[in-house]
Amino acid sequence: MSSPDPTHTPQPAPLTPAPLTPASPPPSDTDPARVSNQSGHSQAGSVSLGEAARAGRAARAGRAGGIHSLLATELAMLFRRWRTWAMLAALALIPMLIAIAIRIAGSSSPGRGPGFLDQIAGNGLFVGMTALVVAMPLFLPLTIAVVAGDTIAGEASLGTLRYLLIAPAGRLRLLVVKFAGAAVFCLVAALTVVIVGTLIGWALFPIGPVTLLSGGQVSVGEGLLRFLAIAAYVCVSLLGLSAIGLCLSTLTTVPVGAMAATAILAVSAQIAGAIPQLEWLHPWLFTDRWFDFADLLRSPPSWASFGENLLLQGAYLLVFGGLAAWRMVTKDVLS
């Protein structure tokens, strides 16, 4: 038996490489974990996972389909809120209360109460018109103030405005989408009052040809078309107020403040419009043409007031929309 070689050294065993674990991808701007951990700015507040996901969906919508997808997302979020449906239900309650009160207590004397009130007992179609006269001074402006005042300030208070701007839509396009959502709510609010009033009037009172302010009569079908045109007139009347609310919403991160300021301006403009000593100011008030929709109930209908109201509200839209656009372009959404 041979002896071991003293010069021989044992070779070390080959090393087995440790399995490599894939590196975690860096968090994206819309990652919920990052969203919830990066809300340390003093004015932005904490961002919930639901709001972060909502902002992410809006950003993806902007990348996918541009302004149309952003508008669809905005309208879906607006009409998913319980607050929106609560306001529409409150507006629908106005014609219902008027119709039930007239049904129980009987018709009022001509000249007493709001316009068209004495017409309801003879023709239930006038319930919607009376409800519009009642809702126009306060209830409709209040709901518009809530929606318009929350457009930008609501996103800023939740801290989601910066994530909405991730979408390539840009700040101005986002502003247009927000105003378009408020304008759609104006139309839905006016139609809610007219349609609910027509239905409840149809159920509780007789329906017949509509007697116009000029003394003539039109058929039920033409009367309904005129009522829809009046709803469109009311929608146009509220666009100036929506532009004011949008502008105020870009100036603060507290949506309640923008809502209250918008509602106060609506009431103040109507008070100024009722003071004879301020007659020189009346044509410049956005509320000056609010009740001229009665011209659509003449024979033939007068569309001049509709056009003048459209020009007036368009001027407010240009002025306050321009101020809102300037504020959005220069706004530091991270502060």
Q: Read off the tokens for 11.
A: 């070779």
Count the neighbouring beta carbons within 10 Å of the beta carbon of residue 242. 30
pLDDT tens for 51-101 read: 555 555 554 554 445 688 889 999 999 999 999 999 999 999 999 999 999
pLDDT, residue 113, reads 75
Q: If residue 210 lies in a helix (H) or strand (E), which one and from where to where?
A: strand 210-211
Name the residue ranges covered by the structural domains of the chain.
13-62, 67-330
CA–CA gap between residue 85 and residue 143 (Å, rounded): 11
pLDDT tens for 144-194 read: 999 999 999 998 888 777 777 665 557 889 899 999 999 999 999 999 999
- Express as a percent the part of the chain with pLDDT over 90: 61
CA end-to-end span of the chain, whole Å?
Answer: 87
pLDDT grade for 223, boundaries at 50, 70 and 90: very high
pLDDT, residue 333, reads 59
pLDDT tens for 6-41 read: 444 455 455 444 444 444 444 444 444 433 333 333
Q: Read off the tokens for 293.
A: 């929709």
pLDDT tens for 260-313 read: 999 999 999 999 999 999 999 999 999 999 999 989 999 889 899 999 999 999
Q: Give the side-chain half-sphere CA count within 13 A for 318.
A: 6
Residues near 269 by Cβ (< 8 Å), separated by ≥ 6?
Answer: 285, 286, 287
Alpha helix segments (H runs only) across the chain: 32-37, 49-65, 67-78, 82-105, 126-135, 139-149, 153-158, 161-164, 171-204, 220-237, 239-249, 255-273, 304-330
pLDDT, residue 55, reads 52
pLDDT, residue 56, reads 52
Quick check: 110 and 118 in contact, CB under 8 A?
Answer: yes
